[in-house]
Structure 1
Amino acid sequence: MEEPLIWRRSSFCWDGDCIEAAIIRDGYIAIRDSKSPTSGPVVCSAWDFEQLIERIRSEAV
């Protein structure tokens, strides 16, 4: 039996319009919309997720 995912969101998320992320396995991250948690998550590698966060922080997105 698989353990349930532990979803986390940024401490900057105060209005509910956020993404949530969970570590799933072997270096992969699941990302979902906090407003629609039952819709399917997007899965990417931890490296890709780190690159996304770096781009957001640099305001290049």
Structure 2
Amino acid sequence: MDITFKKSSFCGDGNCVEVAALPSGDIALRDAKDPSLPAHVFTRAEWAAFVSGVRNGEFDY
């Protein structure tokens, strides 16, 4: 299975995550510093809820 992880263009200091769309339709998220670690996998609905929360400022400090 060939999965392509993408890093955000905002990543600059190496403390980044990478995201990939899986063939199942789920979304995988992994630490770019150590891609050998297992990825966290989210359903499309979970991912959409997270992205919506980011856009709405729910995680702003």
TM, length-normalised to structure 2: 0.81
Q: Which runs of 4+ in 1 moved over 3 A?
A: none
Q: Which residue of structure 1 lines up, in the alignment, with residue 47 of structure 2? A: 49
Q: Which residue of structure 2 lines up, in the alignment, with residue 40 of structure 1? A: 38
**C-alpha RMSD over aligned residues:** 1.3
In structure 2, the gaps of 5 or more residues are: none
- In terms of fraction of residues, the more strand-rich structure is 1
Give 3-state SS (helix, strand or coil) of 2:22's partner: strand
For 1:57 and 1:17, locate their aligned partners in 2 and report how far apart those are by CA, in whole Å: 20
In structure 1, the gaps of 5 or more residues are: none
- How many residues in Structure 1 have an aligned counterpart in Structure 2? 59
- Would you say 1:13 and 2:8 are equivalent positions? no
Instruction: Report the Cα offset of residue 34 of structure 1.
Output: 0.8
Q: Provide, for residues 12-47 of structure 1, a one-character-per-residue CA deviation record: whole Å limited to 9, x for no partner.
A: 111111111111123201110111111000111122
Identity of aligned residues (%): 31
